[in-house]
Amino acid sequence: MKRYLFFFFTFCFSFCSSVQATDPGESAYSNIDREQQQLKWCFIYSNMLGYNISYINNPRLYKLTGEWLGTPYKYSGFNKNGVDCSGLVSCVMSNSYSKEVNGTAKDLFHKSRPLSRNELKEGDLVFFKIKKNRISHVGIYLGENKFVHASLKKGVIISDLYDPYYEKYFFKGGRIIY
C-alpha cells in the first residue's frame, strides 16, 4: 500500500508540476515555493477525494498538515495567523490525537521517549539542535523521511530529514509519553 501512496502523490506532483509559472525571471527559490504549494494541494486533493490509505494510522494528521501548510512563522504563535514550531506541534498533535501537548521544543523532548532516526513512525516528533547546541526546533514526522514544521523564513512546510541542513542539525526523534 505504501507503493500505491507513493504513486498517488507522484501523480499529484506530476499534475501540479505541469502548471508552470510564465515569469522568465523565476528563481530557484520560487521553485521551492511551488513545490510546497504542490504538497499542499496533494494533501487537499487526497482529502477531498476521501482517499483512504490503509497504512496511514491517523489520516487526520495528514489532513491537518495540509491545512497548516503555508501558515506564516510567528514566534510564540499558536494559530493560523502565525505559528512557531512548538505551537504547530501542539495544535496538530492535540487535534490529530486528542492529547494535550505543549511547551517549547526542549520541553517536548523531555516529555517524550527518545528514538533513533530508524525507529521513527508517523506522528513521532523530530528534534533539532540548531542554536548553541541545544534543542531549539521540533517537527512532526510524517513517514518516508518527511516531517512538517514551522520554518522561520517559509512558515509551515514539509521537509526531508536527509536534506543537508536538517541532517546536520538532527538530534533525535521522540515519541510523546501520554
Which positions are annotated as active-site residues?
Answer: 85, 137, 149
Candidates 128, 140, 138; CA nearest to 165 is 128
Candidates 131, 129, 128, 130; CA nearest to 139 is 128
